[in-house]
Amino acid sequence: MILTGGYVTVPVAIAAWILRIPMIIFEPNVIPGRVNSWLSIIAKKSCLGFEEARVRMKNKKNTVITGIPVRRHFLRDSFTHQIAANFKEKKVVLVLGGSLGAKSINDHMRRLYPVLCQDSEFKFIHLMGPKAFELNFGAVPLEIYRNADGEPCVYFLPYSEQMDRLYELSTCVICRAGAATISELIHFRKRALLIPYPFSKDNHQQINAEIAVQKNLGAVLSDDAFVACDAKQLIEILAGLSLPVVWQDEQNPAEKILKQV
């Protein structure tokens, strides 16, 4: 049995322990959840996304560093081909705030786009989240912001089922610092400007971001610092993130977890 934490896991884990069913704990964050930390005492193995999480587990001896799995197959949508054709051989920044979007990222990037599209070589794909997209653009499938020459500069989407293709198109990323997002950055080998959600439990996104920066995954700004960042400063950050880096090959995290079962 593989458990991923949360208080709903506790009665399931107790039942598994009574019935002598082996348990595998999966903890993707640098700061483990309290339930996962305690359940590590009775678990067969604890699979961790980050080495730094080990010291916070109640049972450190059964921990294995596996990384975080990313799904192999993504659904296809009708817009990615159009975006790829228009942004071919361009420096593309993927902007996202998780599945629901992020208001501060959405609002500040929209303020900066007129300058960014005029004064930089970057193009943008911006996933706003369904609610924010509908509030701003209504019931349309996508919106395009064009520069002064009429060329597409920003594609706004509510979300995308084809994240693999969008990551492949992008040069770098602007995003939150949840464990799933960081796992995708590692999998698709993209560096990012990480803006941790300021109200995440135990401030775990800030810790995730700091560890990611140590692993050369990019740069980090607090939510307030990002909102205070002007277009010139952001262009400088994106230019640094666009420089080539050497990535280390790693085994598939899902395969590592399955070996523990």
What pLDDT digit, counting tens, does each position of 116-138 carry? 998 788 999 999 999 999 999 98
- CATH label of the domain that carries residue 216: 3.40.50.2000
User: Burial of 146 by CB count in 10 Å (0-12 exposed, 13-18 middle, 19+ buried)?
Assistant: exposed
Residue 48 bridge partners (DSSP): 27, 65
Torsion angle in degrees (nearest 10) through CA of 122, 212, 186, 183? -110
Task: Round to whole Å and give the CA distance between 48 and 99.
Answer: 23
The pLDDT value given to residue 216: 87
The pLDDT value given to residue 92: 96
Query: Residue 101: pLDDT above 90?
Result: no
Residues 43 and 85 in one domain: no
Residues 123 and 171 in one domain: yes
Overall number of domains in the chain: 2
Residue 256 lies in a domain: no
**Structure confidence by residue, pLDDT tens digits, 192-241:** 999 999 988 888 899 999 988 988 899 999 999 999 999 999 999 999 99
The pLDDT value given to residue 239: 94
Residues 57 and 162 in one domain: no
Residues 171 and 201 in one domain: yes
Residue 75 lies in a domain: no
Residue-number span of the structural domain to which 17 is assigned: 2-65
Task: Round to whole Å and give the CA distance between 59 and 192.
Answer: 33
Residue 259 lies in a domain: no
The pLDDT value given to residue 253: 72
Least trusted range by pLDDT, from 18-32, 37-51, 74-88: 74-88
Residue 148 lies in a domain: yes
Place of tokens 């080495």: 51
Least trusted range by pLDDT, from 20-24, 139-143, 176-180: 139-143
Do residues 143 and 137 lie in contact, with contact meaning Cβ atoms separated by under 8 Å?
A: yes
Query: Residue 74: pLDDT above 60?
Result: no
Residues 132 and 46 in one domain: no
Task: Round to whole Å and give the CA distance between 68 and 50.
Answer: 8
